[in-house]
Chains A and B, each alone.
Chain A
């Protein structure tokens, strides 16, 4: 009896079919991989001026002081934000959010206006306090869950990217007018803080 030999094309077809059937799900959508909440955290940071603006002010301040300050803020703020938000996940809802944020606007905006000559330690302390305060408030709003833990990574990542970009842009400014423009920006932040303070007093 003559053996039936498969042609090369048939063999290829079988191999391709096998490969096609054996492939794992692509997990193209972040919901399937569990990475979706990262973007929730990122977007929360980007779309919440109460969080974004104080971090922006800190990045401006670090940039005005120079590269070592920028490098310190770049790692310290996101780390503190992450710690704060993880701590906040299992805590009760805090109520001093608006007032606290207003005070941060005032403090950091004022420091930028004054082009305050802070020591590296002082800036580190500011980063830690700001990150822990705002991170904690973010955490209390999310509640404890696996997704919330992933979202805290998104928050920290957003803070990191923002500080890196803004501080790097300001560090390389040499023109006098450009540094003045940054300080004027600080006055806008402080002014918004005064208004926010009024609003929080009215609310309470």
Chain B
């Protein structure tokens, strides 16, 4: 049989369709592997989270030792408590307000170079961490590994703190102090924007 133009068209369409096909992902366990990536992207993909996490690092660097490492240690631990509440389905009122307020307060602390005692600083950071953790915990996508998701967002949070600390080391230079105060103002302004969005 000699191929006609119609046969050729059918062949081309069939080939395109066959090559266009995506993975079926019929087995839900395959999605488990995405858990780490999803968890890792969660704090990074939300500017409100990013601002607050970086501000923790900035503030820690401004306060110096031991706050420079106590705050980034306290934050993920308390955040995990919030995440656990989220996993367990326990409601926490005003999560969005809490997250926006964290950026405002932590940004203001950096902008005004507030120097409370270590305990107070850790308590402030810890209180806000619960809201961030709860938001992460309630947004675990179905079928993904909770452990990998948790590890992903804990590592991403720590990474954002490290970025904040890295920027905060500029505090040792005279121009760096001014830079940090500007950065704190930007974080607080961002927090105010997210608060306005949450209230609207």
Contact = CB atoms under 8 A, between A and B. Distances in A.
Interface of A: 49-50, 53, 113, 180, 183-184, 187-188, 190-199, 201-202
A53 B84 CA distance: 19
A192 B73 contact: no
B84 A194 contact: yes
A184 B158 contact: yes
Interface of B: 69, 72-73, 76-77, 79-81, 83-89, 137, 146-148, 150-151, 154-155, 158
B98 to A, nearest CB: 18
28 contacts: A49-B148, A53-B151, A113-B77, A183-B73, A184-B72, A187-B72, A187-B76, A188-B151, A188-B154, A188-B158, A191-B76, A191-B77, A192-B151, A192-B154, A194-B77, A194-B80, A194-B83, A194-B84, A195-B80, A196-B147, A198-B85, A198-B86, A198-B87, A198-B88, A198-B137, A199-B146, A199-B150, A201-B88
Contacts of B147: 49-50, 192, 195-196, 199
B83 A198 contact: yes
B137 A188 contact: no
B87 A192 contact: no
Q: Which 8 A-B pairs have the closest CB atoms?
A: A198-B84, A195-B150, A194-B80, A191-B80, A199-B146, A191-B76, A198-B87, A187-B73
Main secondary structure of the interface of B (DSSP, over half): helix
Contacts of B89: 202
Contacts of A188: 76, 151, 154-155, 158
Given A49-B147, A49-B148, A192-B154, A184 B84 contact: no
Given A190-B77, A195-B84, A195-B150, 16 more contacts: A50-B147, A53-B151, A113-B73, A180-B69, A187-B76, A188-B76, A191-B79, A194-B77, A195-B137, A196-B150, A197-B84, A198-B83, A198-B86, A199-B87, A199-B146, A199-B150
B28 to A, nearest CB: 16
A195 B77 contact: no
A188 B83 CA distance: 13
Question: Which of B83, B84, B147 has the most chain A CB atoms inside 10 A of its CB?
Answer: B147
B150 A192 contact: yes
Contacts of B148: 49
Contact of B81 (A53, A187, A194): A194
Nearest to B84: A198
A183 B66 CA distance: 13
Nearest to B152: A192
A193 B86 CA distance: 15
Nearest to B129: A191
A109 B147 CA distance: 15
B191 to A, nearest CB: 23
